[in-house]
Amino acid sequence: MARLPLENGDEMVVVHGCPMDPTESLSPEMTDEELEALVGDDPADIVVCGGSHIAFDRPLETVTS
């Protein structure tokens, strides 16, 4: 896991699986509720996960920092 401060003041976290469990991958087929549970209450503004090896971008409005 790496936390990177961005120039605009936001923070990005980069992790293999997900912030709650580095062995659990996120995938585009997951519901917002499933993704929210795996992102948890991580304070980062942007979460980058690489475990699934499937590129997707999905905003989660109910996850707040």
Q: Express each pLDDT in 8-53 by its tens digit.
A: 999 999 999 888 888 898 889 999 999 888 888 888 989 898 888 8
Residue 35 resides in a domain: yes
Q: What does the pLDDT read at residue 63?
A: 61
Residue 4 resides in a domain: no
Residue 5 resides in a domain: no
For residues 19 and 1, give the distance between their C-alpha atoms in angstroms, rounded to a whole number.
Answer: 8
Residue 29 resides in a domain: yes
The residue range of the domain holding 30 is 20-57
H-helix or E-strand spanning residue 36: helix 32-39
* Number of domain units in the chain: 1
Residue 15 resides in a domain: no
Q: What does the pLDDT read at residue 21?
A: 87
Query: What are the CA-CA distances from residue 62 to residues 7, 39, 40, 41 (Å)?
Result: 24, 11, 11, 11
Q: Per-residue pLDDT for 65 more than 50? A: no
Mean pLDDT of 1-9: 95
Residue 44 resides in a domain: yes
Q: Per-residue pLDDT for 61 more than 80? A: no
Residue 49 resides in a domain: yes
